[in-house]
Amino acid sequence: WRYASSGEVGEEDVSSGAWLEESYDTSGWSSGVTPMGEGFDGEVTTVLESGSGREVLYLRHVFDADVESGKRYVVRVSGAYDDGVVLYLNGEEIGRLNMGDGEVTSSTAALGEVTSSGGGVMDVVVYVTG
């Protein structure tokens, strides 16, 4: 996985959607393996720096699928979040958790604070047919 904080991804890249493009250069982003996080109970392989004032964390992961073959693929993302999440697959939004409608920028706030210990929990499954 590659990840970067809001201050490391240009606002123009966010508002234009450039960071969602396959060709977007993430070589300057940090990298780590999952599970990753900060301040959650449980096993964390990649510890994210706490107290950094980070408001947004951008995550990207590239996987290969032979879409020409007609095979079906299942992509599953599971995890805890605090306080909102917007999910994309191949640059297209596929879901939101605790986020309002409309354009999302690095200054868009979640609808409210997730107050349960460890944040909210998400399980997202996407079925892709080539």
Cβ partners under 8 Å of residue 113, min gap 6: 83
Q: How far is CA 6 from CA 13, 16, 85, 108, 115, in A?
A: 11, 15, 14, 11, 23
* Cα gap 115→66, rounded to integer Å: 41
For residue range 86-98, what is the model confidence (pLDDT) as tens digits? Answer: 999 888 998 998 9
For residue range 21-30, what is the model confidence (pLDDT) as tens digits? Answer: 989 999 999 9
Question: pTM value?
Answer: 0.79
- Which residue ranges make up each domain of the chain? 2-129
Percent helix / strand / coil, the chain, rounded to 5: 10, 35, 55
For residue range 17-70, what is the model confidence (pLDDT) as tens digits? Answer: 999 998 999 999 999 988 887 766 667 777 776 555 557 889 998 887 777 777
